[in-house]
Chains A and B, each alone.
Chain A
Amino acid sequence: MPVVTLYWDELERLVGVDRKTILERLPMLGCDIERVEEDHLDVEFFPNRPDLYSVEGVARALRGFLDIELGYKNYEVKKGNWKIYVDPSVLEVRPKIAGCVVKGLKMSDELIRSLMELQEDLHWTIGRNRRKMAIGVHDLSKVNFPLTYKAVDSSFSFVPLDFDRVMSVEEILREHPKGRQFAFILAGKDRYPMIVDAKNEAISFPPIINAEKTRVTESTTDLFIDVTGFDENVDKALNILATMLADRGGTIESVEVIYPDKTYVTPDLSPKRMRVSKSEIEGLLGFKLRDEEIKLALERMRFGVEKIEDEAVEVLIPPYRADIMHEWDVIEDIAIGYGYDRIKPEYPQTNAIGATHPWNEIREIAREVMIGLGFLEVITFTLTSEKVQYDYMRRERPKPWEGFVPVMHPLTEEHTIVRTDILPKLLEVLSLNKHHPMPQKIFEVGDVVVAMKNRLRLAACVTHSKANFAEIRSVVQAVMKELDLDWSVEESDDPAFIEGRRADIIVKGKKVGVFGEVHPEVLENFELVNPVAGFEIDLTDIFDCGELI
């Protein structure tokens, strides 16, 4: 989630209250304050509110929330004489474009910084790292209208931003820092989106880089903004930028976007309308609000309230709100505007009888038995590797999927699969704890994943200078007795144990586990120097472990 840096002097000036009030109330609007410094604060806003990724947006929201300026704020768009022609060639590549002109800005450092940060945050969130949407900001005086948005081939050349030589598209993707960073978006394409001006000179190569010639400087007063992408996120981002610049005193002028089959005028800063049912408000929140309370809450959140009828409220949604998909999104804002801290919590009357899950009941019993036998419970990661699970144990690697589950793109060599056995994890624990006094007796009762399904296992081991088969057999005998199981043993061929000192546990004619003296080669693999005796039992089929989803 983006962290927005807000400078106190700007924020206090734009909102019109002191920092104490801001610090107190801002979290109740919905954000996490990460850091508070003398000159600024860092705030993490939620990904559904990109309109708060600038100090202007935050000020606008806070002025409503603090009752300084209530209700819907109207943004005027003057009809401009600016045209973008969309060439059919680009529709297959990056089909959507919108733009706007902003005039009469005072380009301070403060504004440039705020604009650039907002642009980056929008790229990252709404733009999904520029894949879905990308923004270009230009000095209007350097752009020769009308523009054409089209697809070009890789030899098309221009001087990209921050460079002083002409480069082809191919070169830019290979050599320009931004080209290298975002080339993945255009990977596999042989035609590239390009915005060219009336002289057929590039002004922008979306979503990669602008042309150097339209660079915004401190003397810039008028801007042209292009937004390209695939869907309505293009308009959402443009609206957020346009309203933010309007709040800075800019005059917004519209741009005509002419597609082969139709023409759009952007930006559209008119409000959307939504009818919000009053019974839905009461139902979702769980309490009744009076009409004026609903109105005030909405206006605090900068919605417009057109009318309140018996059944519903007609709400005007500001053009910068990218998150309102459903009636409930507005109702949440009513709750925030009303104040979460003012809502009286009430324990629901929902009547139900509690019940435990058999899986965990069996775990509890196994745990009780093992603790009674003096074993210390451990918990280990279920992520592990084939090396530890099988190679170290001298066991054959099973087939993936039938046996273990391999994860894609593991982060380390130690975490490549989900465990199918617990005993290797316990030996790992012992190898990490050699410096602690002996004897060491540990157990874990928990999940393994075999053939993509969870299974319930109990495993334990004991180590000291005289640990042996007889000791672990006593433990197994006690466990089987306490679990009230009819069982027998057969000589095992599990290579993890010493031949002649290993046994399979048989219940109802089926092998459910194994125990024995751990093979010295296994001990060497785990760098253990004391003998270890251990067992592992699969409890899944012995008991009714309940339904797993």
Chain B
Amino acid sequence: MVEEEGFRRYVAHIILWIGIAIVAFPVYLAFVASTQDNAVIANGQMSLLPGGHFFETYYQTIFVGTSGSTREPVGNMMLNSLVMALLIAVGKIAISIISAYAIVYFRFPFRMALFWLIFITLMLPVEVRIYPTYKIVADLHMLDSYAGLSLPLIASATATLLFRQFFMTVPDELLEASRIDGAGPFRFFWDTLLPLSRTNMAALFVILFILGWNQYLWPLLITTRDDMQTIQIGIRKMITTTDALTEWPIVMATAVLAMLPPVLVVVAMQKLFVRGLVETEK
């Protein structure tokens, strides 16, 4: 960090504050809107200070839902989103750390071929393979289920590559010391490799949780029942109303609620997250 004196430092701070304002103002506005009366917002007379409907609106949002387009309480949507995001994040980490372990530490036929196969799937995101994936999930009767929401998104080339790169920086002597210490492949993985990967796993968890939380296309496609919809789908449905006024306070409250879990995850894991991204000493 460069220490600047006097005037130059104020300029730098002002620029930073402007940046913060640009990011934070819409969020603030959403919060303010969620505490106002719907009629006021609809009239375009919304004040920039929070209104008096905070508890009322949030109670209705979480436990009741809108009266029109989606009759599902947002609390339930959040639970769906949370389960899906957790399954995706944990599942991806588990699958990819195991496959990276196999690729780096075991010699088996077609090892490199398999590695490249995994690598190639990087070029096939969900959007590209959406129809075949949908067909498989439908044939397995997993529509409208947590398994259907998360399983197709769990396989991850990116995370596998990340762990592979990390494992390759772990000194071979550690494996050899483990072998001499009588640790088999499973013990080495569990006792040494997993603890060493802790910060990497944390960083990955943060990224993957947010990725899972923000899924839109896939849940839209495979959930039809209201009680299985995720919060991202819910918001979208709330806005599209054909014969009634959009309930803006509830929409805004939902938006604020949708932001909370990712923020909480980042805040809770910030220390580990940063270490996982920058750590070099093993």
Chains A and B belong together in one complex: no
Q: Which residues of B contact A (CB under 8 A)?
A: none
